[in-house]
Structure 1
Amino acid sequence: MADLNDLSRQLEAIKKQIPFATARALTSVVRQIRDAQQTAMKRRLENPTPFTVNSVRAAGATKNNLVARVFVMDTAAAYLDPFESGGVHHLNGNALLNPKNVRLNKYGNLPRRKLDQLKSKPNVFIGKVNGVSGVWQRKKPPKSKGKRRQKRATNTTRKPPKMGSVKLLIRFGDALPVQPVLGYMDRANTMAKVLLPQEIQKALAEAMRTAK
């Protein structure tokens, strides 16, 4: 009878720990999925920024809330979605910015606020030149050789001063198609199916071992 009472107490202790064990298992699974998704981004995207990689987050479960999730922060999700589902590049403005003669950051992207900095320069303008829309820079006109003689005659035709050429800094274009390469959802679903039974089994075994 004493053995039966001991078993009953152990079962009751295990019962109390089941929510905690389940929360531990769920949390472990979503953290492993998060890490795998971040690794996949580094491999499948071209030189992604730390902001993009770290936008994949995991929210663990608790014994009172047995829900755990892996998610992507909203800002990154907007431009990452085409790499998962297909479509065209997400545009923050009205056009795709295609840098031509602008120094990029180490991730190959246009530095933040670079466009605003360029627009503030007096020799930079936004417009269309020879049918190409974008951000242009006026070059200084070439220096003339020697002094021009001033002609007093009113009927003499004056040549206009030489204007400097322009250089295309950033070209404006349409959003381009994106090849879906992430496989985010398939990876998450596959990992969850494989890992969850294993993690629950481990958590329950630990709960039984520590039950008093």
Structure 2
Amino acid sequence: MAEFDLSSNIDAALGFAAKLHQDQMPFATARALTKTQQLVKANIEAEMPRVFDNPTRYTLNSLYLQPATKQDLSARVWFKDVDSGGRASTKFLGPEVYGGERRYKAFDRALQAAGIMPAGMVAVPGSAVELDEHGNVPPALIVQILSYFNAFPQKGYRANMTQRRRDNLARGKSGVRGFTYFALARPEGKLPAGIYRRMDYGADKRIAHLQHGGAKPMFLFVSLPSYRVRLDFHGIAQRVTEAEFPRLMVEYFEQAVATAR
């Protein structure tokens, strides 16, 4: 009776399978993990314009991807810690993911340290502030107000205004009306607590000063607000991973098997 014996080839076949698993499986897994996280990142970035009002380019580019390798089978998408300007994405976008209280900004801390704004409050833009296209306060205005109230922490720091400079602003110049700032730590009359700009009204300036006439709200002091979750970061990541990773794992492993030597 004819006989076909596999015994002479079984060790080689098992050895090949073991080597294939050892060499190709980590490679396929790393590719699948990285590709899945690329899709997670793309889906979260696509969600940002929907949940945020006219987000800045900085916000839209605030995610980074850490790819997986054969030696480290983990891929990660998260917010960049610090950008070139020293801002931490996790600090200003973290509340949008987890909810909770808004963090104090450097502007808030400087106003509190200078005794301009009471503790436990934050400064929010008033109706007189012209926001930029993304709804943010122009940095030059922040610097001007901190300088005006000598709120930069370094003593003698030249960015802090001298009285002469404040007097020059109050007088104005040709074609530019003068102005002054004043701050209210608590409500006064009809004015809520905040920082106000008062324009120069010529002969009536002394009366306007006494009555806060012509005062325009630049910033209002409000209690530290709480955020609701707006960006479903983890929900998106889980849904994309469950939908895509098993498919990609099979696809990349089959490619690895087909090209194995």
Counterpart in the other structure of 1:76: 89
C-alpha contact (below 8 Å) 1:98/1:173 kept by paired residues: no
Q: Does 1:44 align with 2:93?
A: no
Counterpart in the other structure of 1:148: none
Question: Once structures 1 and 2 are overlaid, which stretch shifts more, 130-139 or 180-189?
Answer: 130-139
1:58-97 aligned within 5 A: 58-74=65-81, 75-92=88-105, 93=108, 94-97=121-124
Q: Distance in 2 between matches of 1:161 and 1:32?
A: 63
1:57-85 deviation digits (Å, cap 9, x = unpaired) = 21101111111111113422222233233
Q: Does 1:204 align with 2:253?
A: yes
1:1-212 aligned within 5 A: 7=13, 10-11=16-17, 12-74=19-81, 75-92=88-105, 93=108, 94-120=121-147, 122=166, 123-128=179-184, 130=189, 131-143=191-203, 161-163=206-208, 165=213, 166-212=215-261
Question: Once structures 1 and 2 are overlaid, which stretch shifts more, 173-182 or 105-114?
Answer: 173-182
User: How far 1:120 sits from its partner (Å)?
Assistant: 3.8
TM-score scaled to structure 1, two decimals? Answer: 0.79
> 3-state SS of the aligned residue for 1:127?
strand
Question: Relative to 1, partners in 2 of residues 1:141 and 1:76: Cα closer, same or farther, differing over 3 Å?
Answer: same
Q: Distance in 2 between matches of 1:176 and 1:193?
A: 35
C-alpha contact (below 8 Å) 1:22/1:200 kept by paired residues: yes
Q: Distance in 1 between matches of 2:260 and 2:11?
A: 14
Q: Distance in 1 between matches of 2:96 and 2:206?
A: 51
C-alpha contact (below 8 Å) 1:57/1:70 kept by paired residues: yes
C-alpha contact (below 8 Å) 2:180/2:199 kept by paired residues: no
Q: Letter of the aligned partner of 2:127 in structure 1? A: K
Question: Relative to 1, partners in 2 of residues 1:91 and 1:172: Cα closer, same or farther, differing over 3 Å?
Answer: same
Question: Relative to 1, partners in 2 of residues 1:117 and 1:48: Cα closer, same or farther, differing over 3 Å?
Answer: same
Q: Distance in 1 between matches of 2:38 and 2:63?
A: 10
Q: Percent identity?
A: 24
> 3-state SS of the aligned residue for 1:58?
strand
TM-score scaled to structure 2, two decimals? Answer: 0.66
> 3-state SS of the aligned residue for 1:132?
coil
Unaligned runs of 5+ in 2: 1-5, 82-87, 109-120, 149-165, 167-178
C-alpha contact (below 8 Å) 1:99/1:110 kept by paired residues: no
Q: CA RMSD in A?
A: 2.7
Q: How many residues align?
A: 197
